[in-house]
């Protein structure tokens, strides 16, 4: 029997630091929409660790959707929902509400239009006071870029010139235009950041 589960080594390194932040910013109940779930390892782990929440994984990729489904089937978590195809750039999403949104490692591995669509979607879906949690590497004003992040940025742009690390201040300014204020920015392992936004 084929195993469609994909795996990323970075997940084992960052899932617990991300989980620690999720524990204190997510609501106790409700549906968490994960945008760009990728392999599905993060959402499977979070569903297991936070059973009071229902987790809705999404991704635009067929391979990712197959991997998420395989992780879900292997774990049997009742609060991990069937993955949905969702392209953040599009204005029509297969969900119309969420208690929270989580987006890990998408903003730098996608065109800027995906980040714009993410912010529009958060404005549509999230009620007042609800969080959106972003994770990944960024350029920060006044903070030298770590050599590993500079190399990563160059490799992303070589793969697709529309990709690359974004300026955090530009992302936060875009968020503000969609009714999302920055609540906290936390330094994470391997020169990444977790950014918590709240819907006004």
> Could you give the residue ranges of the DSSP H alpha helices within 35-146?
41-49, 62-75, 112-125
123 lies in some domain:
yes
Q: What percent of the chain has pLDDT above 70?
A: 99
Q: Is 188 left (phi over 0), alpha (psi -120 to 50) or beta?
A: beta
Evaluate whether residue 4 is within a structural domain. no
Any idea what the Cα angle at residue 91 is, between residues 99 and 70, rounded to 5°? Answer: 60
140 within domain boundaries: yes
Across the range 85-110, mean pLDDT stands at: 97
Instruction: For residue 28, tell me if it sits in a domain.
Output: yes
Length of the chain: 200
Region 79-96: mean pLDDT is: 97
Cα–Cα distance for residue pair 131/137, rounded to 1 Å: 19
Is it the case that residue 9 has pLDDT exceeding 60? yes
- Please give the residue range of the domain that contains residue 28: 9-199
**The pLDDT of residue 1 is above 50:** no
Provide the number of structural domains found in the chain: 1
Whether 142 is covered by a domain: the verdict is yes
Q: Residue 3: which pLDDT band, with cuts at 50, 70 and 90? A: confident
Residue 1 belongs to a domain: no
What pTM was estimated for this model as a whole? 0.97
Q: What is the pLDDT, as a whole number, of residue 12?
A: 87
CATH number, domain at 68? 3.40.50.150
Residues 46-71 have pLDDT tens digits of 999 999 999 999 999 999 999 999 99
Is 2's pLDDT higher than 80?
Answer: no
Residue tagged 């994984």 (tokens): 57
Per the CB < 8 A criterion, the answer to whether 49 and 81 are in contact is: no
Residue 144 has pLDDT above 80, yes or no: yes
Mean pLDDT of the chain: 96
- In a domain, residue 63? The reply is yes
- Cα 117 from Cα 87, distance rounded (Å): 9
């Amino acid at each position: 029997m084929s195993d469609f589960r994909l795996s990323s080594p970075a997940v084992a390194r960052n899932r617990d630091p991300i989980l620690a932040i999720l524990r204190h910013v997510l609501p106790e109940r409700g549906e968490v929409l994960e945008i760009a779930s990728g392999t599905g390892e993060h959402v499977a782990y979070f569903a297991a660790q936070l059973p009071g929440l229902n987790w809705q994984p999404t991704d635009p990729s067929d391979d990712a959707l197959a991997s998420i489904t395989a992780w879900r089937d292997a774990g049997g978590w009742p609060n991990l929902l069937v993955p949905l195809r969702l392209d953040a750039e599009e204005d029509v999403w297969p969900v119309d509400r969420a208690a929270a949104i989580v987006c890990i490692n998408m903003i730098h591995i996608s065109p800027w239009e995906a980040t714009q669509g993410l912010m529009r979607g958060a404005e549509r879906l999230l009620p007042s006071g609800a969080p959106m949690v972003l994770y990944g590497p960024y350029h920060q004003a006044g903070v030298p870029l770590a050599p590993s992040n500079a190399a990563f940025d160059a490799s992303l742009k070589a793969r697709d010139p529309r990709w690359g690390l974004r300026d955090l201040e530009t992302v936060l300014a875009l968020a503000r235009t969609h009714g999302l204020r920055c609540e906290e920015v936390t330094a994470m392992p391997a020169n990444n950041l977790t950014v918590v936004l709240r819907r006004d």
